[in-house]
Amino acid sequence: MAQKPQTREERRRQQAAKTKKTKGKKANKGMFKKIFLTLIALGIIGMLTGIATFAFMIQDTPKLDESLLKDPISSKIYDKDKKLVTEVGSQNRDYVAYEDIPKLVENAFLATEDVRFYKHNGIDIIRLGGAVIANITDGFGSEGASTITQQVVKNYFLGFEKTISRKAQEAWLAYQLEQKYTKQQIFEMYVNKIYMSENMHGVLTASKTYFGKDDLSELELHEAALLAGMPQSPNNYNPFTNPEKAEKRRNTVLYLMQHHGFISQEQKENAQKIPVESSLVKEENRKNKNEEPFDAFVDMVIEEVTEKTDFDIFSDGLEIYTTLDQNAQKHVETILNTDAAVQFPNNEMQAGITLLDTKTGEIRAIGGGRNQQVKRGLNYAIDVKRQPGSTIKPILDYGPVIEHLRWGTYHMLEDKPMTYSNGEPIGNWNDKYNGIMTMRSALLNQSTSLPCRPSRQ
């Protein structure tokens, strides 16, 4: 069918409508382009502002000092039979290498603290996003997103201040740490640094203290979970003092291990049924952290190591083998602190004892004083620099001739003036001499010249 011819006016209106539609499309395209470019510009400005702010925040970040990554390690002191006597140190820590950490223990910590540890570069963006939302809704500091790497940085370099600038520094140092060390090295730093209550650091120290296990491979699932839960609040989750809280926290860790696929549902449920207190070191066998065994002898060991070596006994992790006889030491302390051997007139009277092996000259025991209440107090056996006076005469002068020449205490000697080998005179305290007398009488009368005679035999 033939199309009806349009009039000139109709063609004009149709053309005007097409032109208006085209202009509208161009206007819309221009507006969207402007919005897009504006958003890009704002994004660039925001990014540059963020970079500048981050750079400003990290300008005072401490350097990644390797020397600060060395933890002080307690030194061990052994007796003459190579039995451990005690440990001394600024921090109570037993170091464990990564290769000696079983997967069970590692997985317990990963599930609790940083399940994506082996997937991030020091900062977990996914976990960080959740923490940012929580901090916006509930206030800054309400939820943390610190990875194990960031916790190492906090423990060694920054401390636990919660500010935005400190978090920026933490992230920057965590990135640097990941570039310099392997994941295994970082995990080793972490488990040896963490505080585990009872004035101790490190998972191995905690294993020994709470469960009496010197090897982490001996830990059972429920024990590893308990230790992994402690760093969040060590004193609150101390199983010795707060077993109920410790058990609740342990069960949370077991849930996390099952949730992240480290253990099965059955393993989780079986471990959660075990009472925390069932595997703890019995109370009567727990070491009293305020009691230093054989303090006087240990005091001498510390002094000798300090004076004769360049080692720091409190941080270098030394193994020191001594001449201590523990039975002799206990006997010396019994003599000093009871009336079993000596009837002391009062509690104020002090005494010091050094017990020697006369065949070797080795020190077997040291009694530093009576009824001492302070750790590393005055040691009367080695700290009191006084002349022994006449008390040394039976030991140096009369003792040898009694032992070797078989002289009796009534052996007769002449009390008269004498001289040293250089001709200097030896005189009695009162410048009087008593002639012929027994050794017993000479000691009683405090003769000075007469004891020189036996010593020259």
Active site residue ranges: 113, 390
User: Alpha-carbon distance 257 to 271, whole Å?
Assistant: 11
Pair of tokens at residue 384: 């009191």
User: Alpha-carbon distance 58 to 49, whole Å?
Assistant: 14
Beta bridge pairs of residue 414: 436
Sign of CA dihedral 297, 303, 306, 309: negative
CB of 268 closer than 8 Å to CB of 258: yes
Pair of tokens at residue 422: 């250089």
User: In the 8-state DSSP scheme, what is residue 340?
Assistant: S
Pair of tokens at residue 248: 């609740």
CB-CB neighbours of 20 under 10 Å:
10
Q: 438: part of which helix (H) or strand (E)? A: strand 435-438
User: Alpha-carbon distance 352 to 295, whole Å?
Assistant: 13
CB of 201 closer than 8 Å to CB of 93: yes
User: Alpha-carbon distance 336 to 17, whole Å?
Assistant: 117
User: Alpha-carbon distance 438 to 457, whole Å?
Assistant: 16
Report residue 149: phi and psi, to 5°: -60, -45
Report residue 363: phi and psi, to 5°: -80, 120
